[in-house]
Every structure is written in structure tokens, then in C-alpha cells.
Amino acid sequence: MSKKTYRVRNWKEYNQSLVQRGSITLWLGEEVLEQWRSLLKTGKRGRPQEYPDAVILCALHLKAIYHLPFRAAEGFLGSVIKQLELDLSTPDYTTLSIRQKNLSVPLPQRPLKEKNLNIVIDSTGLKVFGEGEWKVRQHGYVNKRLWRKLHSAINSQTQMIEACELTELGVQDCEGFSYLLDAIEDSIEEVIGDGAYDRFRCYEEAEKRKAKGIFPPQHNAVTSQERTANKKKASPGAVAKRDEAIRSIRSLGRTEWKQQTGYHRRSLAETGMFRVKTVLGRKLSCHSLENQVVEARVWCSIINKVTLLGMPKSAPI
């Protein structure tokens, strides 16, 4: 069977969205300048913050999208304000680093959202420090290498990131599963993950949200009736759904089961993570875990924003 060839049908609109990604007005909007001009009153004692959260978030967006360190981000933002001839002071790099730790970063979403979401879940590693591929290939690597794991839940219909969580590398995918579902407020119809999510706890979390969990069992998986010892305690619903998946794979074959259940949509999660690394890089710049969590969420916010500008619509030739 020959592989299908696809062609982008909305190239004009998609090309314009690619151009808009670099526009400074996209990342420094009028609403940010309005909040910048007025000090926000919190009702608490003492002087209000000189820079609202929107200004700090705007600076972090510019820092990420143009791949700048904190000091360069301060200079870049200051030069933009100067060119606009605005009488505004810019936050210094120390303020940006301190305020980043406790900053709340919303994920932009489409105004009209689906009632029942189809979610695909995956995780990927982001480097904190360590050698590059060339140095490792030529001279090997040393022990001082640190990575973080980014867990993400992506809407398979809109390709928007619905939830994300940055954890230490030792956190398993099934542990990050509950974090992601808890962060999604809308109803979920289906949630799809790879074999790393073939755990009873994942079936139970999906059952709590009244969602259908699609996770391929391992090749040597056995049903609850066939397991004679070390039976894990799980809800009857989770055990029944996993047993059903095992029996279906045995009768249909793994390839046919994936086609009937729509499991191949999970590749959209890998595409989403590839988009993050392609646009924003593979290495976090912050040193503390708290700042890294916010930095990763800023990355996901940027990806959602560029996705809203327009995505390619491919059709088979």
C-alpha cells in the first residue's frame, strides 16, 4: 500500500500566520500598555506593584519567542518602549526573575470550545544543562546532566494545549496523568495515551471524568482472570476496561485495534511537543524548578497563541 501524498490547501492564510508570529504587536498588545500605564489597586496596605502581572508576562513572552536571556530581555523591552515614545519604566532582569516564580500563566484558547473534548496526552524531556549532541558524540558525556519532563494534554480537534505540567525527570507519565486531567475543567469524551499510561490509575482517573480511556496494553498483558498472583487493587470499572482492551487486541490484532479505536490520533501529541521544541528550543534557561515551571507554561502559552493565528489544512491528493 503506497503512502498518501498530502498538500496544504490554505497556504495563503497559513503563510500569513507564519509572518505574524514575528510581529512585535502580537506579543506587546495595547491591553498590556493600558495596564502598564495604570497602577493596579489590590486593596491591600502598602504601595501597589509597579509592574502588573501582564507586563511581566509580556516580557517573558518576548524573552522566550526571541530566545533572549533576562538581561537582553530587559534591554529589548526598554528599546521597544523608547521607540514607541512612551513614558514608561521597564522592569529590570532581577524583577523579571523574582516575579516569574509566582506568576500565573493562562493558556489561550479558542473562544468557541467543544463541549466534549478529545484529549491526547504525551510527555517529553527538556534539558536544563548538559552537553550538546556534537560534544557527546565526539568526547562522550559527563555525569552533570539535568532534564525536566513536560507533560501535556492536547485537544486533538483544535491542536491547542489544554493543560501542561513540568515535573522532575523521575516522575512517571502515569503520575502526570492526574495533574493534566485535574487542570481541564471542560468535559472530556476521550483521552488517548501511549503504553506508558497503561496503568489502572489512568483508567480510574478517566473513569472519574466519565471519559473513555484508550491506552494500548503491553504485548505480554494478561486479563484479571488470568493473573493468579499479585493482583492489584483497582476499581471494577478500570479492571473491566483494561480487560476489554486486551481481549480486543487478541481478537482483532494490535493494528486493527488501533484503527478502530482511533488511537493513531495520539501522534498529534508528539506533533505538539515537536512544535514546542522547534519554535522555542529544547533547553530551559531558568535555574530553579519554580521558575522552570513558569517558563515551560509560557512556552505552551506561546504555542497556543501561534496556533490561533492559523494552522495548515492538509488534504490527500
Name the pTM for this structure.
0.88
- Quick check: 61 and 298 in contact, CB under 8 A? yes
Domain 116-271 fold is Nucleotidyltransferase; domain 5 (3.30.420)
Q: Domain limits of the chain?
A: 7-104+288-316, 116-271
The sign of the dihedral angle between the CA atoms of 240, 185, 183, 270 is positive
pLDDT digit string (tens) for 47-62? 666 788 889 999 999 9
Supply the pLDDT for residue 264.
92
pLDDT digit string (tens) for 299-315? 999 999 999 998 888 88
pLDDT digit string (tens) for 18-47? 898 888 888 887 888 888 877 655 566 666
Window from 71-85, 199-213, 226-240 with minimum mean pLDDT: 226-240
Supply the pLDDT for residue 132.
62
> How far is it, in rounded angstroms, from Cα 216 to Cα 116?
22
Supply the pLDDT for residue 136.
61
212 φ, ψ (degrees, to nearest 5): -90, 120
